Structure 1
Amino acid sequence: MNLLQFLLNVLWIAFGGIWMSVAWVIAGIIMAITIIGLPWAPAAFRIAAYTLLPFGSRAVPRAQMTGRDDFGTGPLGFLGNILWLVLAGWWLALCHVITAAMWAITIIGLPFAWAHLKLAGIALWPIGKIIVPANA
């Protein structure tokens, strides 16, 4: 992580990024409490960490990184993403979009708005994604 990414992450946390990370942790806890949601809890916790420090990392399809399909990138991953979308994805994405709209009002907030929009997309379809350094 370079100095600019570090500063952006510090500003992100200071100006509200921590709250969206907490929302992801809450979603993960709710999923972990239920028997049905347990398979989605690890993805929620991984994305909570990514939401806490989004600058310097990116989410890519796991099949793109490994070169092969696996449990989360095949038909079961598709079904898992549909269930995630219905159970938790839509409200997390909505929170990210609302926060992005608030950040987009200012020119200084545009990088934060863009980060929230990327996170909103991940909130809708997280299964089968992996978080990697931005330069990977």
Structure 2
Amino acid sequence: MKSIGNIIWLIFGGIFIAIEYLISSLLLMITIIGIPFGLQTLKLAGLALWPFGKETRVIENSNGGLSLIMNIIWFFVGGFWIFVTHFLFGILFAITIIGYPWARQHFKLATLALTPFGREIIER
């Protein structure tokens, strides 16, 4: 089921979301200051490309203070708007019963987009 879900996700917009994240990651990595943020958008791109069968979780032994500071900077620089976009798409998909699996994927991307530092993506 997850392979079919991923293929449908890819055809109906997942590829464009992943390309957007990849381009923004490359633009962020042009400067030395933007490299940590570029790495997080690469994490988002990987999840946006193939989201079914993966989940995000908080890393137990992450750099607590540094992750918090980076998440705050991320939130104000653009993470909030990425979160809102995924959240709204999730609500639109959740309106219908057929779109519910894709809504769950957008909600998963929204949580990662809000606080990407100190989180990891794992296979289920």
1:115 aligns with 2:75: no
Separation in 1, partners of 2:62, 2:111:
21
1:87 aligns with 2:77: yes
Separation in 2, partners of 1:103, 1:52:
18
Among 39, 47, 64, the alignment partner of 1:42 is 39
Q: CA 1:90/1:27 → structure 2, altered by over 3 Å: closer, same or farther?
A: farther
Q: Which runs of 4+ in 1 moved over 3 A?
A: none
Q: Report what 1:66 is aligned to.
A: none
Work out the percentage of aligned pairs sharing the same amino acid.
35
Amino acid at match of 1:59: T
TM value normalised by structure 1: 0.83
Query: Which blocks of at least 5 consecutive residues in structure 2 are unaligned?
Result: none
Q: Report what 2:53 is aligned to.
A: 56
Separation in 2, partners of 1:91, 1:26:
17
Contact 1:21 1:49 in 2 (8 A): yes
Amino acid at match of 2:97: I
List per-residue Cα deviations over 1:57-97 (Å, max 9, x = no partner). Answer: 1111122xxxxx233xx101100001111112112112212
Query: Which blocks of at least 5 consecutive residues in structure 1 are unaligned?
Result: 64-68
Q: Report what 2:15 is aligned to.
A: 18
> Comparing 90-99 with 23-32, which one deviates more in the overlay?
23-32
List per-residue Cα deviations over 1:23-52 (Å, max 9, x = no partner). Answer: 322331232123322112112102211111
Q: Report what 2:65 is aligned to.
A: 75
Q: Report the 3-state secondary structure (helix = DSSP H, G, I; strand = E; otherwise coil) of the residue aligned with 1:33.
A: coil
Among 100, 114, 119, the alignment partner of 1:124 is 114
